[in-house]
Amino acid sequence: MKLLVIGGGGREHAIAWKLARSPRVQCVYVAPGNAGTGVEEGVVNVDLPSIEHQVDFARTQGIAFTVVGPEAPLAAGVVDAFRAAGLRIFGPTAAAARLESSKEFAKSFMLRHHIPTAPYAVFDEPAAAHRYLDGVGAPIVVKADGLAAGKGVVVATDVQDAHAAVDRFLVGRSLGHAGARVVIEGFLAGEEASFIVMSDGRATLALASSQDHKRLLDGDRGPNTGGMGAYSPAPVVTPALHARVMREVIHPAIAGLAAEGTPFSGFLYAGLMIAPDGTPSVLEFNCRLGDPETQPIMMRLKSDLADLIEAAIDGRLDQAEAAWDRRVAVGVVMAAAGYPDSPRSGDAITGLPPPTNDRHVFHAGTALREGKVVTAGGRVLCVTALGDTVRSAQQAAYAGVEAIRFNGAQWRRDIGHRATGRSAH
Ligand code: AMP
Ligand code: GLY
């Protein structure tokens, strides 16, 4: 069968790579893809600039099903459009995707369904927001309501920073309409984990646990980014915590969306803060796989991803099971000069190591120019490797990183440090 993946980042490269390994799959089209998907065996890039083009392509090419990577097309209703055309697609409708596209919707939904999350208040008026901040003080978190590609959250340790964020979002409209409303929420301390499941609207199948590193610099310092690396499994997610998150977060979310008439089919990602006493709280929901979490997760998935997604599309996920490589996977992101503020494009990339069974370089912001691979985005590559221990996976990933050259490349030297700190490995 022929499949279509929508998106062009590292997450989509990993999804397409994994789907192409299915014996039942002849070709995976990726729209638009990147230089990495362009050379992947069994994968073909296609330029489909609108939802109409995508629907048309899926129909005329006889695409068996489509998988959506990023949040923007989901929020724009790509799933609704495919379904209306009678085409099979895996992802939530625009209504269900509000769990990510509106922080206010997500917070009120969690309150309605007793899902643990930080206390919050919502503001459209700067004066009211400033008064509220003066009352609660710092530390405090200010979030733009809408989709802001990782730029919409300010964790303020000083209340002046929170006031400044309110002014930037509500008055200066630095994020446009996405910041026309803000959610101010209580600060949560602890360790973060990414908890990702597949759902068919009713049943759920948990993926392997993972954790990403959001800050630009070693030691979790510097500005927030989309994620500078990730690893799987995340030792913080013990079997007991896993059971608790399914019971307190995932099941109520899936049941709640179904009860509200907007069942969630797709990948559901809960960004969790695990308090020192082990209590999980939801920082955010994403209605898609995480990037770069997907890259290590796909390296560890032994089951056929096409089978799992088909089971979910058909509403048979309760009968599906996923098998995982017991090894550790570590993915190190190489970012462009100037990332995250103003990434530079067009730097030539050399030294890309050929794939092995245990290591794969997933491309994100790359393009082919006159036959050469060049940088074309903030996060450029994610070098992902398997190892028997966290350390051996790190060594294999970093050996790949060291071989790759492009001007101004930035990467963290400590991806996976929380896992090595925690286990005997
Ligand atoms: P979000 O996009 O909502 O996940 O926020 C981005 C990052 O900000 C998270 O990964 C956390 O590191 C941090 N963050 C968000 N909300 C909170 C909170 N209530 N308390 C502490 N840190 C937070
Ligand atoms: N790595 C975090 C995200 O995909 O939102």
Tens digits of per-residue pLDDT, 350-401?
Answer: 999 999 999 999 999 999 999 999 999 999 999 999 999 999 999 999 999 9
pLDDT at position 423 over 70: no
Dist. CA 149 → ligand 2 center (Å): 9
Atom number in ligand 2 closest to CA 150: 5
Q: Single out the residue of 255, 415, 418 nearest to residue 335, CA to CA.
A: 415
Q: Is the CB of 291 under 6 A from ligand 2?
A: yes
Q: Which residue has the higher pLDDT, 179 or 68?
A: 68
d(CA 251, CA 246): 6
Residue nearest to atom 5 of ligand 2 (CA): 290
Average pLDDT rounded to a whole number, residues 304-326: 98
Q: What is the pLDDT of residue 417?
A: 83
Is 354 exposed, middle or buried (CB count within 10 Å of its CB: 0-12, 13-18, 19+)? exposed
331, 415 in Cβ contact below 8 A? yes
Tens digits of per-residue pLDDT, 96-142?
Answer: 999 998 989 999 999 999 999 999 999 999 999 999 999 999 999 99
Q: Is the CB of 71 under 6 A from ligand 2?
A: no
C-alpha separations of 246 from 6, 122, 283, 296, 335 in Å = 28, 28, 16, 22, 34
Dist. CA 153 → ligand 1 center (Å): 7
Q: pLDDT above 90 covers what percent of the chain? A: 89
Angle (nearest 5°) at CA 10 between 178 and 309 = 90
Ligand nearest to the CA of 147: 1
Q: Which residue has the higher pLDDT, 259 or 149?
A: 259
Dist. CA 204 → ligand 1 center (Å): 25
Give the other-Cβ count within 10 Å of 371's Cβ: 5
Ligand nearest to the CA of 107: 1
Ligand 1 neighbours (beta carbon < 6 A): 118, 141, 143, 153, 155, 185-188, 192, 214, 224, 271, 283-284
Mean pLDDT lowest among 151-155, 187-191, 346-350 = 151-155
Tens digits of per-residue pLDDT, 245-264?
Answer: 999 999 999 999 999 999 99
Ligand nearest to the CA of 71: 2
Mean pLDDT lowest among 143-147, 206-210, 315-319 = 143-147
Atom number in ligand 2 closest to CA 293: 1
Tens digits of per-residue pLDDT, 23-80?
Answer: 999 999 999 999 999 999 999 999 999 999 999 999 999 999 999 999 999 999 999 9
Dist. CA 324 → ligand 1 center (Å): 28
Which own/partner pairs from 139-143 qualify as long-range (CB within 8 Å, at least 24 positions apart)? 139/187, 140/184, 140/185, 140/186, 140/187, 141/184, 141/185, 141/186, 141/187, 142/166, 142/169, 142/182, 142/183, 142/184, 143/103, 143/182, 143/183, 143/184, 143/185
d(CA 22, CA 18): 7
Q: pLDDT above 70 covers what percent of the chain? A: 99
Residue nearest to atom 3 of ligand 2 (CA): 290
Residue nearest to atom 4 of ligand 2 (CA): 290
pLDDT at position 420 over 80: no
C-alpha separations of 177 from 144, 180, 413 in Å = 9, 5, 37
Q: Is the CB of 290 under 6 A from ligand 2?
A: yes
Q: For tokens 């993946």, name the residue.
A: 5
Tens digits of per-residue pLDDT, 38-53?
Answer: 999 999 999 999 999 9
d(CA 154, CA 165): 7
Q: Is the CB of 80 under 6 A from ligand 2?
A: no
pLDDT at position 178 over 90: no
Is the bond leading into 233 cis (omega within 30 degrees of zero)?
Answer: yes
Is 418 exposed, middle or buried (CB count within 10 Å of its CB: 0-12, 13-18, 19+)? buried
Q: What is the pLDDT of residue 425?
A: 41
pLDDT at position 151 over 60: yes
pLDDT at position 424 over 50: no
